[in-house]
Chains A and B, each alone.
Chain A
Amino acid sequence: MIIADGKPVKEIMAMIVPYQKIVLAGCKGCVTVCSAGGEKEVGILASALHLARQAEGNPIEIKEISLERQCDTEYLEPLRRDIDGYQAVLSIACGAGVQFLAEKFRKHPILPGVNTTFIGVTEEQGVWTERCQSCGNCLLDQTGGICPIARCSKSLMNGPCGGSKAGKCEIDSQVDCGWQLIYDRLKDLGQLDKLEKVMPLKDWSKNRDGGPRKRVREDLKI
């Protein structure tokens, strides 16, 4: 899922300085699972902002709402009903959600309350790590199901580099060396021969490098 991290409260407070009435919109999708922008986080942030603004003598009215998702037009309808009378929307959904709101609610400033960080998994409650860089050309069959683009700090296709030590990356002893993981997995699968061939150059044009991407399924269009 998409992982996000709440912005520092001070940064959010600076964004909402001009407003007295805002909507605080959460999302029940990815950001709920990674505890950054769900209903619970909406409540906590609203409380914190109330306290902060009241203490400044500049109270703020916050409409708390949690949408099913902020990336599908139909699910934005509840917000359309409630948005009148409010000056701005602080969205704690991922960047896609914030932008979609901005497209659909053109008269209101839409502010981001979280930093969208990566595509990842829940390793354990409270810990999420990156797995995918959405490169557009998946090669996980060749590397035992472990992605060198996302999990190697240098995105090497023929790793590891000389900085791999005791299974950890040179940049941080807490970060696994992606290529050590690939080596171990392929060893378990009896597929080490895959590592003896030189992996060809990556076509980065399928990645974001090639420009903003689009996917269309003609058969599904109404």
Chain B
Amino acid sequence: MKAGSNLEKILTGGRFAVTGELGPPKGADVAIIERKVKLLKGNVDAINVTDNQTAIVRMSSIAVSALLKQMGLEPTMQMVCRDRNRIAMQSDIFGAYALGIRNILCLSGDHQKFGNHPTAKNVFDLDSIQLIQTVKKMRDEHKVLSGDEIEGVPQMFIGAAANPFADPFEFRVIRLAKKAAAGVDFIQTQCIYDMDKFERFMQMVRERGLHEKIFILAGVTPLKSVGMARYMKEKVAGMEVPDEIINRMKAAGKEKAKEEGLKICVEQIQRLKTIPGVHGIHLMAIEWEEVVHEIIERAGLLPRPTV
């Protein structure tokens, strides 16, 4: 056991894991967090806390992760490379561990151009793979990057993201292998709509034996409308939405769109459960946390195991 977190125990115990996501408030209002937590509690094994996602300033991931811990849930603290240098990152990893956080997700981070502070300086002292190496060095070698000994080792369960659909497609598995070599323990993918392409990706993953080295959680996001499906297809980088899905959402019409979106999501989860090498799902119900319970229940994944 590397960190002893709930997520790690479920995955190492061979259970199918379910993680959720929570976007912190654009301010210091804790009540917003409490509302979202109510909808997620009991439905997921751990909750990702995003780190200034899309470069929009929100309450810090470490603070919200600490609050989640206080509320009795397990956070997965996301850390991006855009805003912090190696000094601040290692410092925050110490702090996170001290606050009871045991899962960390290492990400590059969306470029600040997307957010509300496009004139900010970006940092990118490290990239996500070097960050994985850093956390691993701190946890397993008990050293910071400079080689100095650590006073109190942060035992983190190390995660990262993978995008099976970004380009170049042939390179995605190699990059995943790099992350595994760097020391990652688990991976969450971007949300998947093109199941066939994902199956091809998983085939390449299995050929390299990666599914036995790291835990892979497949990302899913329920669609609310045909407009949302189209937006994801056209405007979101690294997202692929097959026409079949767009057509189903369109055919459902305005009243039945949400119901169809949930149906598609549950079908996707059922299919993902059957793919060898997929150890769980990461459900990102963006600004639609109310449906998390229904989705997990209909997918036959409740109750969540207690370990």
Contact = CB atoms under 8 A, between A and B. Distances in A.
B275 interface: no
B129 A158 contact: yes
Contact of B174 (A154, A165, A170, A195): A195
A166 B167 contact: yes
A167 B167 contact: yes
Given A153-B111, A162-B163, A196 B174 contact: yes
B108 A164 contact: no
A200 B114 CA distance: 28
A183 B133 CA distance: 22
A156 B168 contact: no
B33 interface: no
B149 interface: no
A198 to B, nearest CB: 5
Interface residues of A, number: 30
Please report whether the interface of chain A is mostly helix, strand, loop or mixed according to DSSP: loop
A137 to B, nearest CB: 14
Contacts of A75: none
Contacts of B145: 201
A51 interface: no
Contacts of B178: 158, 196-198
Interface in B100-114: 108-111, 113-114
A170 B237 contact: yes
Interface in B151-200: 161-163, 166-168, 171, 174-175, 177-178, 181-182, 190
A161 B127 CA distance: 9
A156 B110 contact: no
B227 interface: no
Interface in A179-222: 180, 183, 195-202, 204
Interface residues of B, number: 35
B282 interface: no
A174 to B, nearest CB: 13
Interface stretch (B118-126, B266-274, B289-297, B298-306): B118-126
A202 to B, nearest CB: 8
A162 B190 contact: yes
A167 B166 CA distance: 10
A154 B166 contact: no
A96 B119 CA distance: 24
Given A154-B82, A170-B111, A201-B145, A163 B238 contact: yes
Given A171-B111, A196-B177, A201-B145, 4 more contacts: A154-B127, A156-B124, A160-B175, A165-B167
Interface of B: 81-82, 86, 108-111, 113-114, 122, 124-130, 133, 145, 161-163, 166-168, 171, 174-175, 177-178, 181-182, 190, 237-238
6 closest Cβ pairs, A-B complex? A162-B163, A170-B237, A163-B237, A158-B129, A156-B127, A161-B108
22 contacts: A154-B108, A156-B128, A158-B127, A158-B175, A160-B166, A162-B108, A162-B162, A162-B166, A162-B237, A163-B111, A163-B238, A164-B167, A170-B237, A170-B238, A183-B168, A196-B177, A197-B178, A198-B133, A201-B126, A201-B130, A202-B125, A204-B125
